[in-house]
Amino acid sequence: MLQEKPLPQLDLLIERIAARDFTVGVIGLGYVGLPLACAAAGAGFRVVGFDVDPAKPAAIAAGRSYLKHAPAGKLAELVAAGRMTATTDFERLREVEAMIICVPTPLAAHREPDLSFVESTAAAIVPRLRRDHLVVLESTTWPGTTEEVVRPILESGGLRAGLDFFLAFSPEREDPGNSEHPMAQIPKIVGADDEGSLRLADRLYGSIVARTVPVSSTRTAEAVKLTENIFRAVNIALVNELKVVFDAMDINVWEVIEAAKSKPFGYMPFYPGPGLGGHCIPIDPFYLTWKAHEFGITTRFVELAGEINSAMPGRVVEKLARYLDAEQSRGLNGSRVLLIGLAYKKNVDDTRESPALRLIELLEARGAKVDFFDPHVREIPVTREHRALTGRRSVAWDVEAFPHYHAALIATDHDGVDYAALAARSALVIDTRNVCARLGLKAPNVRPA
């Protein structure tokens, strides 16, 4: 419940936001933080970005973007204008009025939340925190994190949230590669536990994005983010299960979905695939599952969805094995497979939690030799769960090489790939995204999966 104890300087700070006489610090310059920093600087604020990886501030200082959805031209313009700088020196937090935390919140080995990045960031803020600072957490997490974890760390220096400084939560809603919904046009959820913090955070974000949606508490704002991603995870699991059932009945699930979505009400299309990827959908539901155990509640629906989605890479591999056996009288052991698309979704370079990485591991565990091609991912970066794949590089697009593979496996349906040439020159194409059918490529060697 909101406490009505606004800080004395609130009105002055709101006036400074309106005048753009306000410096925003963004901590964590990854897929969320860099676009946010660019949007804030583009809205007229002075922005200082912070990251522990020195390569990121160095790239920003040179006007180079390391993310496809943060255009280098715009970034260079903001840097040249002096509106945006970046650093590894957290002492510069003393220069800013707002600190927005955009650090990772992964899952640990047993699917419990790993808040170490959030906790270490909050601890780094403490010695630089002063009266009237605004601190906002954007990292996705379980309901209660801002109140139960971040607030006590920040208050360990003697200042009190809602009395001495402002504290809020505003979940990121970044969708890399989605040109129809740029960050500044996506409504921003803002939640706080006191009236002053809510007013200030809402006014700041309202100056950066087209519309804000204030809610009554940080817990509510945290729950909104989880609800959005659980909704997607559960519905994708449903359609993945339907794919398995319909496949056994010799029914094309893609045709079913296309027909079903003609209904103008009561239906929303979701699409099957080789598994879930990205930082949000495969991970966020388990934050709620973990927190629910504290209240003696089992999230059976959410956990079942996770089981179904996690099983999809294995089902794809089994289907590929069956096709090789039926059409080439061979098994996976010793087969050469070309995997098309390593990113977790089309037209991005983001490999976080990508099912393609799991597909490579499963195929190679059964003796296959796997190469990959991805026009957006030249080299596999370091990941927590797939460290053995680090450094592997995409092969060149070479139609003359296609006949030397026993199968091509489409894991990600990037635009701009010549799927017609792939189908024409490959012995077998396994399509997990239905891209060939969408393009009218119905050759007998193209099989759905």
Of 166, 189, 216, which residue sits at a domain end? Answer: 216
Residue (of 267, 279, 348, 362) closest to 313 by Cα position: 362
Indicate whether 125 and 209 sit together in one domain. yes
- Give 10-residue mean pLDDT values along the chain (449 residues): 60 96 97 94 97 96 86 89 97 97 88 93 98 96 97 98 97 78 89 97 97 98 96 96 96 97 96 88 87 93 93 97 96 97 94 95 98 97 91 97 98 97 97 96 93
Q: What is residue 7's predicted lDDT score, i.e. its pLDDT?
A: 58
Among 25, 28, 24, smallest CA distance to 56 is for 28
Residues 172 and 281 in one domain: no
Q: Which two tokens stand for residue 197?
A: 């913090």
Q: Which residues are catalytic?
A: 280
CATH no. for residue 246?
3.40.50.720
What is the structure's pLDDT at 1? 46
Which domain range does residue 393 map to?
232-448
Of 214, 369, 353, nearest to 286 by C-alpha is 353
- Residues 322 and 386 reside in one and the same domain: yes
pTM of the predicted structure, to 2 decimals: 0.91
Neighbours of 144 (CB within 10 A): 15
Last residue of a domain, one of 216, 251, 266: 216
Residues 319 and 211 in one domain: no
pLDDT of residue 130: 96
- Spell out the residues 6+ positions from residue 156 whose beta carbon is closer than 8 angstroms to its own: 126
Whether 163 and 249 share a structural domain: no
> How many distinct structural domains can be found in the chain?
2
Task: Mark whether 289 and 396 lie in a shared domain.
Answer: yes
- Do 26 and 147 lie in one domain? The reply is yes
Same domain as 190, residue 114? yes
Q: Are residues 252 and 178 in the same domain?
A: no
Same domain, 193 and 75: yes
Residue for token pair 């927005």: 100
Clarify whether residues 178 and 251 are in a common domain: no
Q: For position 67, what pLDDT does the model report? A: 85
Domain edge (last residue) among 163, 188, 216: 216
